[in-house]
Structure 1
């Protein structure tokens, strides 16, 4: 019966007609309505979302894709739920990054009743099952959201092991969940919260991450499983220290941006976007950036190679993976625009 209604609704899906009556009335599309908004830290907004019935929940540490319409165009980005694993609502804390189209829009305009598109949760940055006996969480800036989900989940499960959160921020005013973090530490003997401020001296630690911070916050870190999310500089510092100490297999990471290989010196050539009839010279940047510079607006979510939203068919030419440096000459192959660059002439079905 449903397929009959959908056939009658052609060329649009039945959900396109239902949303004219009620944006939250869907048959197949997954959406969410903002039911609470609060500004808990400088430059950030915390949203509570009520998803439609298709939502299957999230594991602590995973991300979702949120889509909003800005000036008539839908834009999608990835955000990590901060709530307890398996909750019926979704809590997101969004930091308005400079030049961030979606994060800035949500920070300025999100209000109760706003309906956004939503994906099911995804990602491999999750707490191990069974839970490890000792857990260290390290975060910086808005990287606190996935590890906050982990911390809340462990507390809700009455986790019997020791858990420490080491979080980096400019100062106390930039820490989302500050009051809750202090309450969790005070109310749970095995929970420790260490706040490191890079632009203030009134935290538990001062300055940027280093060996002394790790040894003070978690002297037992060699026996722990460590979960890390934050800016590239923090990620690199922690990863380097763990590798030097032979602890790389105990470090689990979620990155805001990919670690990219430098642009190739032989970046000459053209990119032909056949579906739009556009051709442009390229400079070795990601194909997503090249497309945007040519006036195209391909869909994307994370810009870091984890959500596959920007996947497009390369019909011919050679591309270089910006994370690994590997080259690919296969024609008619789906590639991710955000983590691939053209080598010579490339043709895309875009």
Structure 2
């Protein structure tokens, strides 16, 4: 078919001018050429430029890197609580991680705020901590995730967070304040001590400026200064939000806090009143199924003896670099086709033996011989 005469029949697809240009620059795509002129000049790819970087020592040793980003025109915005995937090139390999915006969804300048905790073994977080500066261009995805404020807004809200899990609920609080929300809000945050609390000055400022917002800080190590002390206990909810059973609760934090709060809500048959978001993978239980055998990465012509590690870890230990993001089963960027064999979901324990099915490498381990189209 000639490109100059694209119509084959009355129902045939027409070539758009953009489609014609992209066909001519195949296989790389037009954005690969435009980025040589200006990385932020894109037709299809969504990217973001770092316009401000602030680094803050939060706990005496750990550092929060707060990035302000200017997305390209393709950005559709987000709902408070959702996450985005950020991609960086490290030593020639594209690495992707998920972060929750911390700003209000109503921010007027269209900029995006991410707070990245620099973990000692975090490849992307360490890169951003060391290399992020104004002008750096990052890959960005559209917002995703079901952890978001419902419409219409509930009459009362309990926001519970711990550690780095503060960012999505911080976005919720900022959004509600921007909307002039007048229902009751309790913001309950768990941390080792006051110096471990990100956004503490602004949290106090928002609570002082809005008479419907109560800030409650629970310190698990510091004995003085907090509203509550120790790990989560049901009495904490009764102390700061005695009405929580008739409200909507949003929870994001480390696995221990998440498990404790879920167990309490399940025990009181309030599961439908609790919305949750993981920011760290749950602990991996010891395998309860046979993990002998060999995993074959067919396209790469690589095999690996099964050890009980996740398929993603096995691939990396075998020298492969499959695409991945959150490493906890949220973003689906590590999904690959299992052509044969049996795998186990490390979070649910579910066993799957169907051939030619998609599996998330980060939350599945091999059970016996497994073949992947990777």
Task: Please give the range of the TM-score, normalised by the shorter of the 2 chains.
Answer: over 0.9
Count of residue pairs the alignment pairs up: 350
How far 1:258 moved relative to its partner? 4.2
The equivalent of 2:143 in structure 1 is 121
Question: Larger deviation: 204-213 or 47-56?
Answer: 204-213
Larger radius of gyration: 2
State how 1:293-332 maps to structure 2 within 5 Å.
Answer: 293-332=317-356
Residues in 2 aligned to 1:258 and 1:99: alpha-carbon distance in whole angstroms: 15
Residues in 1 aligned to 2:277 and 2:349: alpha-carbon distance in whole angstroms: 20
Q: Are 2:85 and 1:65 equivalent residues in the alignment?
A: yes
Residues in 2 aligned to 1:104 and 1:76: alpha-carbon distance in whole angstroms: 13
Distance 1:119 1:86, change over 3 A: farther
TM-score (norm: length of structure 1) = 0.97
How far 1:153 moved relative to its partner? 0.7
Q: Are 2:31 and 1:3 equivalent residues in the alignment?
A: no
Residues in 1 aligned to 2:237 and 2:297: alpha-carbon distance in whole angstroms: 48
Give 3-state SS (helix, strand or coil) of 2:173's partner. helix
The equivalent of 1:252 in structure 2 is 275
Give 3-state SS (helix, strand or coil) of 2:195's partner. helix
How far 1:257 moved relative to its partner? 3.4
Question: Larger deviation: 324-333 or 27-36?
Answer: 324-333
The equivalent of 2:236 in structure 1 is 213
Gaps of 5+ in 2: 1-16
TM-score (norm: length of structure 2) = 0.91
The equivalent of 2:210 in structure 1 is 188
State how 1:42-191 maps to structure 2 within 5 Å.
Answer: 42=58, 43-87=63-107, 88-191=110-213
Gaps of 5+ in 1: none
The equivalent of 2:44 in structure 1 is 28
Q: Are 2:21 and 1:19 equivalent residues in the alignment?
A: no
Q: Is the 8 A contact 2:106 2:178 kept in 1?
A: no
Give 3-state SS (helix, strand or coil) of 2:299's partner. coil
The equivalent of 2:315 in structure 1 is 291
What does the per-residue CA deviation read over 1:159-209, in whole Å, with 9 as the maximum and x for residues that have no partner?
121001001122222222111110100010000111122232322222221
How far 1:281 moved relative to its partner? 0.6
How far 1:86 moved relative to its partner? 4.5
What does the per-residue CA deviation read over 1:72-113, in whole Å, with 9 as the maximum and x for residues that have no partner?
211000000011114411110111123111112112221111
What does the per-residue CA deviation read over 1:319-350, in whole Å, with 9 as the maximum and x for residues that have no partner?
11222222222211111111111111000011
Residues in 2 aligned to 1:50 and 1:227: alpha-carbon distance in whole angstroms: 28
Question: Larger deviation: 188-197 or 33-42?
Answer: 33-42
Give 3-state SS (helix, strand or coil) of 1:291's partner. helix
